[in-house]
């Protein structure tokens, strides 16, 4: 079974994430390669966001999840609790994430995936805008042990918009699903 990014949204919906998200103002879409990666693993984390900011605006979060593609692209995806947009979701996206030490996973961010109720739809599912960005995510914990303590992300897009996440687990084991078996190497380790 292979999931492409629009299908990732469908998986997120079934997990209670809502739909993917976007910032309040129209955003230019940068057409980058690998817009629809094949998802081989996802993890749903339980806890709270101490900080969630989109372009200087604070939001509470509903859910935080991690998605990994068979080509090594990963996303820390956050469903925002936005009363003006039930489909507001952001994803910090990068490639070549790796464990720096045993229980610390670091992901360099090269794009933000932004979605909202105003995004165009494919098969009834909003398609996220891709915004070139730079930044970094750091996860403390280990998926193989079903434990994540925290996720911290910070990124700035090419338009100057800033995104910040500080997620803290409530101690509940994560929900981890391997969608498809893939061959991995150290550079594409799906168990951060």
Percent of the chain topping pLDDT 90: 59
Look at residue 17 in the predicted model and tell me its pLDDT: 42
Cα separation, 42 vs 171, whole angstroms: 18
Interior/surface letters 14-36, b for 16+ CB within 10 angstroms, e for the rest: eeebbbbbbbeeebeeeeeeebe
Q: What angle do CA 30, 160, 31 make, to 5 degrees?
A: 5
Average pLDDT over residues 120-148: 92
Give the pair of three-digit tokens for residue 134: 């730079």
Cα separation, 63 vs 79, whole angstroms: 5
Give the pair of three-digit tokens for residue 119: 């995004």
Look at residue 19 in the predicted model and tell me its pLDDT: 33
């Amino acid at each position: 079974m292979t999931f492409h990014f629009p299908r990732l949204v469908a998986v997120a919906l079934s997990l209670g994430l809502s739909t993917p998200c976007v910032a309040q103002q129209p955003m230019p879409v940068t057409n980058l390669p690998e817009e629809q990666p094949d998802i081989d693993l996802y993890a749903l984390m339980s806890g709270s966001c101490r900080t969630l900011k989109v372009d200087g605006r604070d939001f509470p979060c509903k859910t935080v999840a991690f998605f990994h593609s068979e080509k090594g692209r990963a996303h820390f995806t956050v469903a925002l609790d936005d009363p003006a947009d039930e489909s507001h979701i952001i994803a910090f996206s990068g490639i070549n994430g790796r464990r720096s030490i045993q229980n610390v996973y670091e992901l360099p961010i090269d794009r933000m995936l932004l979605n909202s109720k105003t995004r165009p739809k494919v098969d009834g599912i909003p398609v996220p805008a891709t915004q070139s960005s730079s930044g970094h995510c750091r996860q403390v914990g280990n998926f193989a042990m079903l434990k994540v303590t925290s996720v911290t992300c910070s990124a700035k897009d090419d338009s100057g918009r800033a995104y910040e996440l500080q997620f803290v687990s409530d101690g509940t084991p994560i929900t981890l699903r391997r969608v498809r078996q893939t061959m991995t190497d150290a550079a594409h380790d799906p168990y951060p």
